[in-house]
Amino acid sequence: MFDHLPKSALATLPTPLEAAAAMPGSAARLWVKRDDLTGLGGGGNKARKLDFLCGDALARGAKALVTVGAAQSNHCRMTAAAGARLGLEVHLVVSGDAPSGDDPLTGNQLLSRLFGAQIHYTGAHHSHWGELEIAREALTASLVELGLAPYSIPIGGSTPVGALGYAAAFVELSLQCEAARCAPRAVVVTSSSGGTHAGLLAGRAAMIAAGHLDAASAPDIVAVGVAKGVVLDVVDVADLANRTLAHWGVGGAVAAADVEIDGRWMGDDYAVPTDAGDEAIRWGAIHNGLLTDRTYSGKGLSGLLGHAAAGRWGDGDDVVFVHTGGWPALFAADGAPDVTRPT
């Protein structure tokens, strides 16, 4: 279904679909789609997006990749790894200030530098995405003047090209569920820039339009929003999903009513830890051996556990959590919850 589109084969696919431990307060069955195991640069959901983004970059003759994110951005770390694999120069525009000479790099920044990326610090707050995007555009323009032929990627790789990665992931997941005799009532995913969510919606819409999936039994796509912008942008997610379908060249449509974003688990702001998120991180680790982080996947898992405890899914229902990765952030300053508390 995707052979007509340029890809760079960066991700290790398919990722496993695993049965997980019983959820507290719920008789529903939890499955975990292990997209933390996509291989590239420590794994995570961005590898699927970068498969298509870097395929497009190479097709356009790019000599460098430019992208942007928060100081501990998983997307930046994996873009750095993609550049290392493909022999492309990588420039990362990030929030915050450069560490002083005595402060070691940690977490995703350490790995990004290890992969050879050049990190450009903006001094911007990690939730000021508009300011960060302006800095990305300015850097891209300067690299064009230097003749580097940069391929510039917005925050999270959330473009129609990038979202194709999760349209393909939905198809992959559907085949795995059929083989495992799992009929998910819902697929739950963490969302910040909206591209992973939009891709899943596009994949579901395409399979319904092609007759491979019955609309009445298709799973809900539930996004746990961890950034204020995506929580407010239901229409934008639907628009991105439809532009992804158009770029893909298949039938199907996504309406605003198809978009479910639950922002109750974000807490005070993006990248600000929550008690529920920390509890979910500990639960996932102790009961399933999963590594989730305080900004993304831990908050997403807390939302899923919250819905389950509230009775959204009943005895015998299957629910899939798309584990988007993020473990390197556990090793950044204040990146891990208190491990002395029981779970």
Q: Could you tell me where the DSSP H helices lie in the chain? A: 46-59, 74-86, 107-114, 129-145, 160-180, 195-209, 228-232, 234-248, 275-288, 297-309
Band (343; pLDDT cuts 50, 70, 90): low
In one letter, which amino acid is 74? N
Q: How many CB atoms lie within 10 A of CB 179?
A: 9
pLDDT at position 127 is 85
For residue range 195-205, what is the model confidence (pLDDT) as tens digits? 999 999 999 99
- Residue 214 phi/psi, 5° resolution? -80, 130
Would you state the structure tokens that stand for residue 243, as one six-digit string? 């532009």
Q: Could you tell me where the DSSP H helices lie in 128-159? A: 129-145
DSSP 201-265: HHHHHHHHHTTSS-TTTPPEEEEEE-SHHHHH-HHHHHHHHHHHHHHHT------GGG-EEE-TT
1 has pLDDT over 90: no
Distance CA 299, CA 134 (A): 28
* Domains identified in the chain and CATH numbers: 17-45+158-331 (3.40.50.1100), 58-157 (3.40.50.1100)
Cα dihedral 244, 248, 253, 259, rounded to 10, equals -30
CB 18 within 8 A of CB 34: yes
pLDDT at position 102 is 79
Closest CA to 204 of 154, 155, 159, 238: 238
pLDDT at position 342 is 58
For residue range 2-15, what is the model confidence (pLDDT) as tens digits? 999 999 999 999 99
SS3 (DSSP) at 161:
helix
Output the pTM of the full model.
0.96
Listed in sequence order, the residues at least 6 apart from 14 whose beta carbon sits closer than 8 Å to its beta carbon are 172, 176
Give mean pLDDT, residues 278-284: 98
70 has pLDDT over 60: yes
For residue range 288-326, what is the model confidence (pLDDT) as tens digits? 999 999 999 999 999 999 999 999 999 999 999 999 999
pLDDT at position 100 is 83
CA distances from 303 to 55, 100, 158, 165, 223 (A): 34, 37, 22, 23, 9
What's the angle, vertex CA 305, arms to CA 298 and CA 312, rounded to 5?
145
CB 302 within 8 A of CB 324: no
pLDDT at position 27 is 97
Distance CA 153, CA 217 (A): 35
What's the angle, vertex CA 16, arms to CA 11 and CA 19, rounded to 5?
155
For residue range 92-111, what is the model confidence (pLDDT) as tens digits? 999 999 988 778 899 999 99
For residue range 139-159, what is the model confidence (pLDDT) as tens digits? 999 999 999 999 999 999 999
pLDDT at position 235 is 72
